[in-house]
Amino acid sequence: MTFRACSLQDLTPGEGLRIDSVSPPIAVFLTEEGTVHAIDDTCTHQDASLAVGWVEDCRVECPLHESTFSLLTGEVDQPPAKRPVRVHQVSVDGDDVFVELSQDTPHLPPGVSLP
């Protein structure tokens, strides 16, 4: 499924934007270098929004326990998170940011389930 997630004007370099219109929510990031990425918004360790995490070197750090996830691959590089997040394909057409959702099963933290 591909959908319009937001406009480029909605994004701030080095920050994330949570998109709640899909389940589970995703986070769209604009890096300081100008690239746009989308990953699942929920940390795989605990129910925390990655959109409010710190972005540096194409990685986002979870605001709760400092696990970091690659915006390119979704891989996690330090505990306490052990499982990656899904990465979604992004395309930009003019000012519109489109996201094609991954068909992989999301890795949700304990106690969080899909509706």
- Provide the residue-wise pLDDT of the chain in tens; the chain has 115 residues: 999 999 999 999 999 999 999 999 999 999 999 999 999 999 999 999 999 999 999 999 999 999 999 999 999 998 999 999 999 999 999 999 999 999 999 999 988 888 7
| Domain 2-100 of CATH type 2.102.10.10 | yes
- Count how many Cα atoms sit within 13 Å of the Cα of residue 3 in the half-sphere of its side chain: 13
Q: Is 34 left (phi over 0), alpha (psi -120 to 50) or beta?
A: left
Cα separation, 19 vs 39, in Å, equals: 10
Q: Which sequence spans correspond to the domains of the chain? A: 2-100
